[in-house]
Amino acid sequence: MQFAVYTVRNPKVSPLVKYILFNYSLDSSDRTSVISYANNNICLGIVQGKKLNRTETGEISGTESSGISSYLSGMYLTPHCFLNQGLLDEICIDFSPLGFYKFSRMPVQTYIFDGDPLREILGAQAIHFFERIFEIADIQERGILIEELLLKRMDTYADPFLAEALACIHQRNGQLDLTTLTRQLNCSENKLLRAFKRHFDITPKEYIRIVRFRHSLHYLKTNTKEALTDIAYRSGYYDQSHFIREYHFFTHSSPKCMRENLISIEQEVMISVNS
């Protein structure tokens, strides 16, 4: 199984779409298990020839299906396992938290496999558009055309309160608590909770934890010789025990094991892979 990332270039679209990820396999005997970790992106997945769903054991897997299917992936805390068997051609448009709402008013859940999120988010002609996209072999060409579609589809929706809340969290890389955040926003915890649950189906505290964890993952992968204790403090954890507890929660593994097994796809996507 192979992966490629297309970085959006248009300055109007790039704040809204973090990247476009292409997952593909040309090997009919392929069997790959991909583990993804807590993320604050909202992903629209478009798949050729398969329909994804959750298995009885909790994995996300695809069954053969004619044409194109789509799904929506919201925010989650625990590791999620994606099992691919055989050929695969999948496009994942990963929106920033507020960027998604420039294209859709759909409430976000951890997963939406039913219905037709592609049509709801990008319009009635999106199916025909992606049928043509899947005929193109070149990843960069695919990315350019998808970016052009996104530019045409975006609107001017804005939520100033939520945008300010997200900016505060990301400026501090998740290194703040709810008391500090509500003080900066001059609001109640209940107002903040309602906004996050309505848009993202998680709490602001959970969102802060995800942002801090994702930031520490990048530290872990890019600073391979730095002591884990130093990474823990730089990432905003109280001590080494707090750091380890959070990693066990988010990854079911230790920071040491994650450093050894983590794969970075062009400094954007952090996964583990078992073939």
Given the DSSP bridges, would you call strands 263-265 and 269-274 parallel, antiparallel or unpaired? Answer: antiparallel
**Residue 24 contacts residue 79 (beta carbons within 8 Å):** no
Together in a domain, 99 and 216: no
* 178 Cβ contact partners less than 8 Å away, ≥ 6 residues apart: 189, 192, 204, 205, 208
Together in a domain, 146 and 207: no
Together in a domain, 79 and 204: no
Of 34-38, 54-58, 86-90, give the lowest mean pLDDT range: 54-58
Residue 195 belongs to domain with CATH number = 1.10.10.60
Q: What's at 64, amino acid-wise?
A: E
pLDDT digit string (tens) for 109-118? 889 898 899 9
> How many domains, the chain?
2
Together in a domain, 149 and 243: no
d(C-alpha 254, C-alpha 232), whole Å: 12
CA distances from 31 to 64, 67, 87, 88 (A): 15, 22, 9, 11
pLDDT digit string (tens) for 161-192? 999 999 999 999 999 999 999 999 999 999 99
**Residue 40 contacts residue 97 (beta carbons within 8 Å):** yes
Average model confidence (pLDDT) across the chain = 94
Q: Which domain holds residue 12?
A: 2-153
pLDDT at 44: 97
pLDDT at 202: 95
Together in a domain, 135 and 170: no
d(C-alpha 74, C-alpha 244), whole Å: 25
Together in a domain, 149 and 53: yes
Together in a domain, 130 and 186: no
The pTM assigned to this predicted structure is: 0.93
